[in-house]
Structure 1
Amino acid sequence: MTPFDYVIVGAGPAGCVLANRLSADPGISVLLIEAGGPDTNPLISVPQGYAQLLGDPDTAWHYPTRPFGPAKQTDVWVRGKTLGGSSAVNGMIYNRGNRADYDEWERLGNPGWGWDDVLPVFRTIEDHSLGASALRGADGPLQVSTGDGGDALLEDVLTAGGQLGWRRMRDLNETDEERLGYATATIRDGRRVTAATAFLHPVTDRPNLSVWPETVVDRVLIEGGRAVGVRGRQRGQDVEARAGREVILAAGAIATPKILQLSGVGPAVALRAAGVDVVVDSPNVGARMREHRVFLLQFRLAEDLGYNKMLGTEEGLRDVTAQYQANADGPLAAPSFEIAGFFKTHPELDRPDAQFQIAPVSFRPPAPGEAVQVEREPGMCCVAYLLRPDSEGSIRITAAGPDAPLDIDPNFFATEHDRTTAVGVLRGIRRLFAAEPLAQRIAHETMPGPGVRTDQEIIDAALTMGSTGFHAIGTCAMGPDDTDVLDPRLRVRGVPQLRVVDASAFPTMISGNLNGPVSALAWHAADLILQDA
């Protein structure tokens, strides 16, 4: 088989960016492999279609975790399974994180990843609806926009935040101060913008770029100690792809460590227990994982406001569907949460340590085997979480077979920092909903409920009634030490010609959602790859 120069595994935000950048040179041949199918599901372009996409096994992977918390329940961690990856099924919130996040990466021994290095990348990839500035771009391939506002209920949220000293902003990425405003989202003209629509589809006619959907990569081929390709299954048939220069894993913080471990690169004890021959003993493959544990708060409204009547009844849903089909606007054109904000759980902190997102809709408790449904009575919901957890979980294979379940240990709230901050997060959100004029709109809190008051009750509520943030990072983290899975140029230690470019490379958590940071990581990584060629 004639090798490609580069074989990229995973067509999410990282893989689509890499395919675009590396194939820009017609003399370089690139193969992009995606386990899911083409992004032809019509719901992908509809912003509010995300809820159905997340529950559909044709468009999303569902990874159960270990039991945890006082109820010993499991989470299901969801990732995109289509061209565009998780950017095709996520809530579309676009954040970049803080200056201090990236400067911390550099301080930890990763030169070239500080804010002054990364900000120009963001400005290059962005096409922001607010136009260009010193801190944002307007000519890039990734279209993002900010809501215009006007809804009375959401305006009251913003005014209430102002009562707490939180600054209202049009562009939430312009400062790292306490702030709130209409969320910036990967939406333009009422349609979702995925990594595939932004970076991949505009270049798929390049003759040097090949795309293989419906191809599951099981392992990296390592011969003579070097990565030479990948082996997997394409629509049920065994398949191989050879790489003359590099194999690049961009499958995400769950699938990338799985592929490495199945390839014999990982903690020796765990690999042997799973029946995998050890090629490189790399103890932190699958370790050092950090993830947001999310509070779910819901409130009953005192008036018939919000979207419940429109989204929770057959008649209302028909009306908003017709509105969207005619004009690509209305509730179906909104991101998962229309308001976003950042605040400090303690005033002496130098920057916010909590994030929240609010939508004028509320949901019924899900019944076993049924999709989440909108409540009939008026309500609104808020998700909130501590931004930079330092509790570390792990991901391990359990057998040598590629279809064996993973052992995902979230290990939420393992540190005093995380527990203390989480308590401050919930109490901060309650202050927001008790502030005027929002307080006049609220009848009562329905979840977790006013009975949850003590620190331990708050932590237990986060574990039993909360959710994952879908923001796992760090499972193949870069760093300067021999025990770090990747070096600062994202090369896998111990295996030449093998690189990792996705959220698993993050050494610490970014202060916000990950779609934008992963895209920027990949854009910058493409420069490193081409320099090393």
Structure 2
Amino acid sequence: MSDFDYIIVGAGSSGCVLANRLSADPRISVLLIESGGKDRSPLIRIPKGFGKILGDDKLTWHFPVRPIGPSNNVEEWVRGRTLGGSSAVNGMVYNRGSRADYDAMESLGNPGWGWDTILPIFRKIENHSLGADATRGAGGPLDVSVGPLVEVSREFVDAARGLGWAVTDDLNATDDQRIGPAVRTIKNGRRVSAAHAFLRPVQNRPNLTIAVNTTVERIVFEGDKAVGVQARTGKGRATYTARRETILSLGSIATPKLLQLSGIGDGSELRRLGIEVRVDSPNVGRRMREHRCVSLQYRLNRNVGYNKKLATAAQQALTGIQYLATRKGPLAGGAYDVVGFFKTSPELDRPDAQLLMAPFSAAPFEPGKELGLEREPGMQAIGYVLRPDSEGHVTITSADPDAPLDIDPNFLTSDHDRRVVSALFRTMRHLFEQSPIADLIVAETRPGSAVQSEQEIVDAALDHGYCGYHAVGTCAMGPSDDDVVDPSLRVRGVDGLRVMDCSVMPTMVSGNLNGPAMAMAWHAADLILSGA
């Protein structure tokens, strides 16, 4: 069968939700296309397995970006390449963003995307280990939990409490300055990806077809209407037809790429590459915002934390045996144990910075390699500007779908971002100077005490920090003719084509984006089914 009512391209956080919702009516046929394979790797279900997954090109895409920072480092941005997409390979932190984020989207001319619409969706999809209340849900398909904290993590939280930060078990219950154990998409020591939550329960529906190892290369048009896609499969090339709509859910990198390859983008650039221009839409791939993480790392005076249990292959094996027997221990937790949201200036009306703390210290990271830990005892924290306004871009370099992209992160170029990253770094460093966490610290090992000025902090973030893997805005929605999609997520200039992934966010949601992508996709399904 090659004819369907709806085609969804990309089986990540948004695509799995859309496949679930659109196929609920047995009269509607749905094709979900994923370029990667089935999510059968046992490492996907082991939460700490993400450290090895990130270097596996069978499960992840690696997109090189333009050189970053004074050292001109070439990083690779990682995205999931399997059912579940990046929700199958991420750090499992479940933040929802704040009321002000969604209300801001609505105020920009996107009716129906405000908090009063989105909060009930979060409550509907969640199955929270803390139970339901006015701000969270229980009984939904997405398992969410709060993990236990080891000694060093508890002392870090106590140090923040001493500075007046509110300590909470549910970081999503308030938008105020706060700190507490990370909320994670984990249940009983196992990762819960979008595929496990939304796709597995419905995968046997006769009206839902899931095509893996299938890479879409072009959108097919008849006149101004998108009628399907051309794809490369293990058996050759194939064309799939959508009677109603095609929905792109490939993420903020691959969605603009596919639009540009299909003739929707900056007309002058497309013509230069020999691509017929279907819609001159210069903001396709533009307006990209991304989190740049600045890192602090410390040597400890006692062998607490996870380094001892995870630094070597032998230690990993012993810890793995413990995990298989109990589903507990270091392997059962997400990327970070503690998350905090804080203000870099007291007069602000809400937090503008986020930190994430882990009871381990990382060995120097090599792009495309699995994450490693130091053998000596240590701990680390990263922090980033919650709502950066520096803008980068994603652009194809050829009409060949396999050609590399031109990705310019353009990190920390605005005065706002430079000021806030400097202030948040100083706040994090001040936190580590407080008892009881300070009593465990021997020295700051990264970036080092010599880093003091704003420029030195910015350089440290660029040279020794990390990408948050939270890109947004490359197909941003809005009411203007130059916005790539309209408030109903329809691609301007053509019919039968929508986008639903983080690329449609016109502003950055405060925090990690897996949860927001799923909730927004739930609302997108309502729009699609209503014919909006």
Same fold (TM over 0.5): yes
Q: Distance in 2 between matches of 1:211 and 1:67?
A: 37
Deviation for aligned residue 1:315: 3.7
Change (3 A) 1:147 1:449: same
Deviation for aligned residue 1:312: 1.0
Q: Distance in 1 between matches of 2:162 and 2:2?
A: 64
Deviation for aligned residue 1:370: 5.2
2:213 is the counterpart of 1:214: yes
Q: For the Cα contact (< 8 Å) 2:62–2:368, is it kept in 1?
A: no
Q: Deviations over 1:453-500 (max 9, x none)?
A: 111100000011111000000000000000000100000001110000
Task: Give the structure 2 partner of residue 16 of structure 1.
Answer: 16
2:5 is the counterpart of 1:5: yes
Deviation for aligned residue 1:369: 7.4
Segments of 5+ residues of structure 2 without an aligned counterpart are none
Q: Distance in 1 between matches of 2:103 and 2:368?
A: 44
Task: Give the structure 2 partner of residue 111 of structure 1.
Answer: 111
Segments of 5+ residues of structure 1 without an aligned counterpart are none
Greater Cα offset, 71-80 or 308-317: 308-317
Task: Give the structure 2 partner of residue 313 of structure 1.
Answer: 312
Task: Give the structure 2 partner of residue 282 of structure 1.
Answer: 281
Task: Give the structure 2 partner of residue 86 of structure 1.
Answer: 86
Task: Give the structure 2 partner of residue 102 of structure 1.
Answer: 102
Task: Give the structure 1 partner of residue 522 of structure 2.
Answer: 523
Which amino acid letter does the alignment assign opposite residue 531 of structure 1? S
Deviation for aligned residue 1:270: 1.5
Task: Give the structure 2 partner of residue 131 of structure 1.
Answer: 131
**Please, what TM-score do these two structures have when normalized by structure 2?**
0.99
Q: Tell me the secondary structure at the aligned position of residue 55 of structure 1.
A: coil
Task: Give the structure 2 partner of residue 74 of structure 1.
Answer: 74
Task: Give the structure 2 partner of residue 148 of structure 1.
Answer: 148
2:43 is the counterpart of 1:43: yes
Task: Give the structure 1 partner of residue 245 of structure 2.
Answer: 246
How do 1:420-499 residues align onto structure 2 when only pairs under 5 Å count? 420-499=419-498
Q: Deviations over 1:500-521 (max 9, x none)?
A: 0000000000000000000001
Q: Distance in 2 between matches of 1:463 and 1:306?
A: 27
Q: Tell me the secondary structure at the aligned position of residue 6 of structure 2.
A: strand
Which amino acid letter does the alignment assign opposite residue 470 of structure 2? H
Deviation for aligned residue 1:314: 3.7
How do 1:222-261 residues align onto structure 2 when only pairs under 5 Å count? 222-235=221-234, 237-261=236-260
Q: Distance in 1 between matches of 2:368 and 2:111?
A: 48
Change (3 A) 1:2 1:214: closer
Q: Distance in 1 between matches of 2:379 and 2:145?
A: 23
Change (3 A) 1:367 1:23: closer
Percent of paired sites with the same residue? 58
**Please, what TM-score do these two structures have when normalized by structure 1?**
0.98
Q: Distance in 1 between matches of 2:481 and 2:302?
A: 60
Which amino acid letter does the alignment assign opposite residue 305 of structure 1? V
Which amino acid letter does the alignment assign opposite residue 49 of structure 1? G
How do 1:305-344 residues align onto structure 2 when only pairs under 5 Å count? 305-344=304-343
Q: Tell me the secondary structure at the aligned position of residue 54 of structure 2.
A: helix
Q: Distance in 2 between matches of 1:3 and 1:196?
A: 23
Let me know the Cα RMSD of the aligned residues: 1.1
Q: Deviations over 1:22-77 (max 9, x none)?
A: 00000000000000000001100000000111110000000000113211222210
Deviation for aligned residue 1:305: 1.0
Greater Cα offset, 179-188 or 369-378: 369-378
Q: Distance in 1 between matches of 2:25 and 2:192?
A: 25
Q: Distance in 1 between matches of 2:73 and 2:504?
A: 28
Deviation for aligned residue 1:232: 1.3
Q: Deviations over 1:81-126 (max 9, x none)?
A: 0000000000000000011000000110000001111100101111
Deviation for aligned residue 1:161: 0.6
Q: Tell me the secondary structure at the aligned position of residue 176 of structure 1.
A: coil
Task: Give the structure 2 partner of residue 415 of structure 1.
Answer: 414
Task: Give the structure 1 partner of residue 272 of structure 2.
Answer: 273
